Structures are given as structure tokens and as C-alpha cells.
Amino acid sequence: MKTVHLGLYPTLADWEFGYVAAGINNPDYQHEPGSFRIVTVGATRDPIRTIGGVTMVPETTLDEVDPQDSTMLVLPGAQIWERNDAFVDAARRWTAAEVPVAGICGATMGLARAGLLDDRRHTSNAPEQLTPTGYAGAEHYVDAPAVTDRGIITAAAIAPVDFAREVFALLGVYTPPVLDAWYQLYGQQDPSGFYALADEQ
């Protein structure tokens, strides 16, 4: 089974990882049903409280995970990315091991701080959000909901569906026709996507 690690840290943005987690853990429509799972990872095993007031407990810690045993590191936004050094370092470790990293909203600041956006196409909530990091990749900024470049996914806070689509595409969770139907339903709010998904089962 392929493990996707989901980072947990205080003030985690609840709405930014839901589509990713649901799609990876739900075998319906998957190309290889049951081949993926989500495992939560924290800097410690201490419970964290999300920005929505939900308490979550990491299943493992960064020190206990070898990036080679991971399929992807998913980093939601939070209000602490200016000082979330443990996960900035983790993003570097995963990338050095040639394992994909996906960051949305404030997590793009962490990827910028890690130097991972200096020479990759990327996006965020706005170019100005990344400027204080001092990164050198401003010329590669793309005004798009989500962007994938050489194993790094970035997305804006308002685009959790687009973020999930990029994750699913990079991991091969769904076949292209299923992914198109999934996005038609959830990204474009087109009910015919539901029937397209049913036809693909």
C-alpha cells in the first residue's frame, strides 16, 4: 500500500485537505482500489488544534518517517508557516529523496522558504504572500488555482478541489477519464459528472 503523509500542526486549515484525504482513502473509482492510504505526521505526537477548533493526533512523527517510505507529503495551510521549521526541513528531505510534496495556501510559504520554488513554476494566494520569504523564484509565479512542476504542487487557499486534482493526477489515483469526471462534479459543480463517474465503475 502506498502511503501519503499528511502534515499536522497547530492552526491547520481544515478545508484545504479534505478532498485529498477523502479521495485517497476512498477506493471508489480508484485505478487500483485500496492501494493508497493517508497517514498523519507531526513534528511530535502531541495533539494539535486546527483553525476550525478540531483536535487531531498525529499517527507518527517526522523523525520516524523515511521519505523513501512515503509516496507524497501533503502540507495544508496554517497560521504558523513563518515558523514551521520542522516541516520546511521535511519538504527539503522529501524533495531530496525525489518524493513529491504538495503545499496549499500558507504551506507555499514554507516551500518558498525551503528554496523549492526558486526554479519551479508555482502559485500561492498571491505573489505578495511569498515575497517576505526572500525566495528567488518570483519570475516563476503563475496566476492559477494550482500548479505542478517537477514533483512540487502548489495551490491557493480557495482551490482545494484543484489542489486535490493535481495530487490525484501526480499519484495516478484515478485514470484520466475518472479524474475528468471527478473534477466535472466537484470542480465545475456539474451534476453530469456524477453520472460520468457511475459509468466509469
Catalytic residues: 105
Residue with cell 522558504: 113
C-alpha cell at 67: 521519505
Crossing angle of helices 160-171/176-186, nearest 10°? 170
> Do 148 and 123 touch, CB atoms closer than 8 A?
no
Query: For residues 97 and 94, what is the distance between their CA atoms, to the nearest angstrom?
Result: 5
Q: Which residues lie across from 77 on neighbouring strands? A: none
In a 3-state reduction of DSSP, which class is residue 168? Answer: helix
How deeply is 104 buried, as exposed, middle or buried, from its count of CB atoms within 10 A (0-12, 13-18, 19+)? buried
Mention every residue, 6+ apart, whose C-beta is less than 8 A from residue 2: 35, 36, 37, 71, 171
Reading phi first (left if > 0) and then psi (alpha if -120 to 50, else beta), residue 18 is in alpha
Query: For residues 42 and 72, what is the distance between their CA atoms, to the nearest angstrom?
Result: 15
